[in-house]
Amino acid sequence: MRKNPSASKLPSRLRMSALILACATLTAGPVLAQEIVKIGYSGPLSGGAAQYGKNVLDGALMAINEVNATNPEIAGKKVKFEMVSLDDKYSPSETAINAQRLVQQYKTAAILVPHSGGIFALQTTNEAQKYLLLAYSSVPQITNRGNKLTLRIPPEFTSYIKPFSAYLMTRYGKKIALIGADHDYAKAWVAAFKPAWEAAGGTVVAENPMSYNRATDFYSGVSKALAAKPDVLFVGGASEPTGLVVKQARELGFKGGFFVIDQAKLDEMAKVTGGYGALEGAIGVLPVVDDPAPEMKDFVVRFHKIYPNRDPGSEVVWNYTAIHATLQAMKLAGTTTDAVAIRAQLQNGYKALSSAQNPGGVTGVDAQGGTITVTRGGAVENGKVKVIETPAAK
């Protein structure tokens, strides 16, 4: 058989390139076979709560990117995690529509939702459809319902009520006006807070919930509350409108304190009020940037490398850790699709995390699906945030 004369004349460099190309073609198979695992998100990405929703999403994405950088394997198969994020504008009905799309189109075994209305909407179907509901809301009813495929990510908000109330009553007085937001989460807060405040000897002198997610002018509602001459204002929704409520209260002459529910963050509110001066006497969740714990300080440094012009809030931290724990639970369960098996490993998933992955110190998951941790509050005194200890919380 005659040799192909043209082949024998190929330069050695060209023959080597052809060999490399052939090898690359042979090895492309396993790379293409990498499983893409999608995690769903339905939350506010537009409207008044858009920044809140973005903070939740950024914490989740930070964790996913860290895990993907390790070239993870589950049950001996290489996987890559992706987040599919859909805007629900803080509307439970939109959350339900988004969930159907995430499950049917993207085959998500887990869906992250950062508001109680949407969470309650999905709890009517998630067990039947067999997907894990990652619930970022501190409303106790989320786990009290007995849903076996729900993880409540933050601790219950009830742990803040007693210490925050005692601080404000001692510093300002016992008359409070309730001017929080009118969405489901804020209503749940009021339902738990009002009897606790009264049981501690306080008086509710006015109740005037406002639409934080749609309004930008709160002067009328705040004026009505101030007419009752309260010592303290109960406020809270997303950080930006909550900051605006505080700012307008100060402009109307209010000199008292503020009880800030945990959805709003003091450091983010300060950007709206022009600093901590207007927030004197406000007490709420301890800002992440003011937490002295070494693990939290390290987290802030890592977050700043990704987002140089932003500070992380607690919703970034809790969701960052929850996604790490969920992906770890998938690894321990040996599956990315069996929500029941993944849920059963969440306790071990949290315990397997490093301190860097768990800067908030979550110690586990209780039998009802709620995280167990120790929370701390922060109060503004003389323009600075003071740490306020709170009891161990679930």
Strand partners, 374: 392
- Determine the pLDDT at residue 376: 83
Model pLDDT, residue 307: 94
Residue 392 pLDDT: 54
**Residues 6+ away with beta carbon under 8 Å from 214:** 47, 48
SS3 of 261, please? coil
Q: Give the residue carrying structure tokens 């983010």.
A: 268
Element (H, E) at 134: strand 132-135
pTM for the model stands at 0.80
Please tell me the predicted confidence (pLDDT) of residue 69. 97
For residue 31, the model assigns a pLDDT of 47
State both tokens at 2: 């005659």
All domains of the chain in start order, with CATH: 35-156+293-373 (3.40.50.2300), 158-291+377-393 (3.40.50.2300)
Contact by Cβ (8 Å): 152, 137: yes
Distance CA 118, CA 140 (A): 15
| Tokens, residue 250 | 């100060």
pLDDT digit string (tens) for the chain, length 394 residues: 444 444 444 445 545 444 444 444 444 444 447 899 999 999 999 988 898 899 999 999 999 999 999 999 999 999 999 999 999 999 999 999 999 999 999 999 999 999 999 999 999 999 999 999 999 999 999 999 999 999 999 988 998 999 999 999 999 999 999 999 998 889 999 999 999 999 999 999 999 999 987 778 899 999 999 999 999 999 999 899 999 999 999 999 999 999 999 989 999 999 999 999 999 999 999 999 999 999 999 999 999 999 998 999 899 999 999 999 999 999 999 999 999 999 999 999 999 999 999 999 999 999 999 999 877 899 999 999 999 877 655 5
Which residues fall within 8 angstroms of residue 268, CB to CB, at 6 or more apart?
A: 51, 239, 240, 243, 311, 313
Pairwise CA distance, residues 385 & 276, whole Å: 9
Q: What is the pLDDT of residue 391?
A: 66
pLDDT value at position 184?
85
pLDDT of residue 20: 47
Element containing residue 346 per DSSP (H, E):
helix 346-351
Position 389 scores a pLDDT of 78
Q: Residue 214 has what pLDDT?
A: 76
Nearest CA to 315 out of 350, 267, 263, 355 is that of 263
Q: How far apart are CA 359 and CA 259, in angstroms?
A: 26
